[in-house]
């Protein structure tokens, strides 16, 4: 199978799936490396296809309902990170991304697309396995999240909980 045919097949698989599909699963299906699939996804995106990366794999972007908010948080350590993410998802907020303001590069943003406790668990496992630090390590724990929340009420409850714990610095 040539690369163009593989990308078309990946496009069809993603369009027909309601579940995220990992790069590793796609690589096994097409007998190529995971890195080839990552490159294919980048080319599909550059061609205009909206593909979201989640802790579970790739998904076709679907329009979100509810409200979109940005919050600024500050904490150190994975316990508080877990508390923060679990609180957001428990109150119906999907954590779309994380951003930090870097003194040289400006705003750096990483996609998260975390919407359940299971996603939080997978994310933290990846952080641990990769022995990587979260983006907030670059800014002494200060970072922001863009959230997509089911309701304003759920958003306000999550913010209230995290303010009590000293995690939220500012909420819009």
pLDDT at position 133, please? 84
Distance CA 39, CA 36 (A): 5
pLDDT at position 64, please? 64
Name the residue among 78, 136, 83, 147 with its Cα closest to residue 112: 147
Give pLDDT < 70 ranges for the chain.
1, 63-64
What domains appear along the chain, each with residue ranges and CATH number?
3-60 (1.10.10.10), 67-171 (3.30.1340.20)
Beta partners for residue 132, in sequence order: none
Distance CA 74, CA 137 (A): 10
Q: What is the pTM of this model?
A: 0.70
For 75, the token pair is 């904490």
Distance CA 131, CA 141 (A): 17
pLDDT digit string, tens, across residues 32-68: 999 999 999 999 998 888 898 887 889 887 766 789 9
Distance CA 147, CA 70 (A): 6
């Amino acid at each position: 199978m040539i690369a163009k045919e593989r990308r078309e097949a990946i496009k069809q698989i993603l369009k027909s799936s309601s579940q995220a599909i990992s790069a590793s699963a796609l690589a096994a299906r097409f007998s190529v490396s995971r890195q080839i699939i990552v490159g294919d996804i980048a080319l599909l995106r550059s061609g205009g296809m909206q593909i979201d990366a989640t802790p579970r794999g790739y998904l076709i972007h679907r329009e979100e309902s509810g409200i979109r908010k940005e919050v600024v948080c500050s904490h150190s350590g994975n316990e508080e990170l877990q508390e923060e993410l679990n609180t957001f998802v428990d109150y119906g907020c999907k954590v779309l991304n994380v951003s930090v303001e870097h003194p040289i590069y400006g705003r750096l943003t990483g996609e998260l697309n975390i919407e359940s406790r299971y996603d939080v668990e997978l994310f933290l496992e990846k952080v641990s396995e990769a022995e990587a630090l979260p983006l907030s390590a670059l800014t002494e724990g200060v970072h922001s999240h863009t959230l997509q929340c089911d309701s304003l009420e759920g958003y306000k409850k999550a913010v209230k909980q995290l303010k009590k714990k000293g995690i939220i610095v500012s909420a819009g």
